[in-house]
A = this chain, B = another copy of it.
Amino acid sequence: MDVVTLNTFLETEFPQWSTSTGASVTDVTPEGVICRLPFNESQLRPGGTVSGPTMMGLADTAMYAAVLSRIGPVALAVTTNLNINFMRKPEPRATTATCRLLKLGKRLAIGDVAIVSEGDTDMVAHATVTYSIPLQG
């Protein structure tokens, strides 16, 4: 799946996510995908930073998009494990999530996601995500 079909699929299957947050896939790369989350005051938490759950959702979606970009529109792929470290306070602007597939098996996909404030190089958060892929019939 390319950028356009991925975004169309995510908007259809997860209207809550993309419509309410404005998140989208911006690139399909040789290693995975890149997603972008616009800055939105409703995601803020005390201290003025993008909230943890917002970044967890972004990491999860980036990995989902990376899996779909390789295997096609399998809506029922599900997260089985997500581990995230929060490292720095994000800036009050858009965030970018770069997902790299570390393993893409028939039943299991593992990837990591680097989250930065747009234009920065220092990571705000780093996640490792495992998806279970249902048997296709």
Contact assessment for B79 and A81 in the assembled complex, using a CB-CB cutoff below 8 Å = no
Q: Is the CB of A76 within 8 A of B102?
A: no
In the assembled complex, which residues on chain B have CB atoms less than 8 Å from the CB atom of A130?
Answer: 80-81, 85
Q: Is A16 an interface residue (CB 8 A)?
A: yes
Task: Please give me the residue from chain B that is nearest to A53 by CB atom.
Answer: B57
In whole angstroms, what is the CA distance A83 to B75 when docked? 23
**A112-B86 in contact given A16-B51, A46-B76, A47-B78 (Cβ < 8 Å):** no
What residue of chain B has the Cβ atom nearest to residue A61's Cβ? B53
CA distance A49 to B126 in the complex (A): 26
Binary per-residue interface labels of chain A (8-47) against chain B in the complex, 1 for a CB within 8 Å, 0 otherwise: 0000011011000000000000000000000000111111
**This chain: copies in complex:** 4
Q: Report if A95 contacts B (CB, 8 A).
A: no
Q: Number of A interface residues, CB 8 Å? A: 40
> Cβ of A110 < 8 Å from any Cβ of B?
yes
A1 within 8 A of B: no
Interface hits, A100-132 → B, CB 8 Å? 102-103, 108, 110, 112, 122-123, 126, 128, 130
A85: chain B residues within 8 A (beta carbon)? 80-81, 102, 110, 128, 130
CA distance A117 to B93 in the complex (A): 36
CA distance A93 to B108 in the complex (A): 25
Q: Once the chains are docked, how many angstroms separate the CA of A126 from the CA of B79?
A: 13
